[in-house]
Structure 1
């Protein structure tokens, strides 16, 4: 089995587990506090899961072809990911009545956690190639 494929398969399994655990925990906290969101939380997690997976596959592919450019590709992919997120979820993000604190946290927490996960993956990948 290819080394990159094995690394991505393990990453997929770990990412799936973390995503389910985070979503379940956030739903539990929101329901126990009787917080109602004006948007669905599941599409936010699905977007971040797919986008994180695509970013890591892209960086894995670019690092095997052009290792010196992988870091720049990662930075560009982050900007594209944030832009797509704003475009897809603009109705939830830019509501007329504004967002309350639980809604803001429900947007920011998944974004930051998935960003940290892909940063760790891509950082380790780039460091392993330098060694």
Structure 2
């Protein structure tokens, strides 16, 4: 269990560093939101979701699906609360700014799903 968690933490940190630096390099500097906060939120959220699934799987393996859906709804809700000023602005976001919000979400969602799938296959 500890080795798996360490493996996931390393993957998240590497993805966080590489994706953030790449997106920061490719996008302009005047984004209407903090790219650093965006990536930190997704990295921490994925780690919390994975650890939660890991703990729930040991106690109640039949409830993993419901737990994952609940955590995803909470994650999206917290994201909207934290970044509501960016998402619900009066002026429309440019397409590159919209993509800048979605890219980290989908990157970390894929990593989260792959790590949880590996967890479920291993047991």
| C-alpha RMSD of the superposition | 1.1
Q: Secondary structure of the equivalent of 1:99?
A: coil
Which 10-residue stretch deviates more, 56-65 or 75-84?
Answer: 75-84
Residue 16 (structure 2) pairs with residue 22 (structure 1): no
Unaligned runs of 5+ in 2: none
Q: Secondary structure of the equivalent of 2:99?
A: helix
Pairs aligned (count): 123
| Large movers: runs of 4+ above 4 Å | none
Q: Which residue of 2 aligns with 1:101?
A: 95
Q: Which residue of 1 aligns with 2:77?
A: 83
Q: Which residue of 1 aligns with 2:40?
A: 46
Kindly state the Cα deviation for residue 96 of structure 1 after the two structures are TM-superposed. Answer: 0.8
Measured in 2, the distance between the counterparts of 1:113 and 1:100 equals 20
Kindly state the Cα deviation for residue 56 of structure 1 after the two structures are TM-superposed. Answer: 0.1
Kindly state the Cα deviation for residue 72 of structure 1 after the two structures are TM-superposed. Answer: 1.6
Kindly state the Cα deviation for residue 6 of structure 1 after the two structures are TM-superposed. Answer: 1.3
Which deviations, in whole Å up to 9, do the C-alpha atoms of 1:78-112 show, x marking residues without a partner?
11101110011000111111111111011000001
TM-score normalised by the chain length of structure 1? 0.90
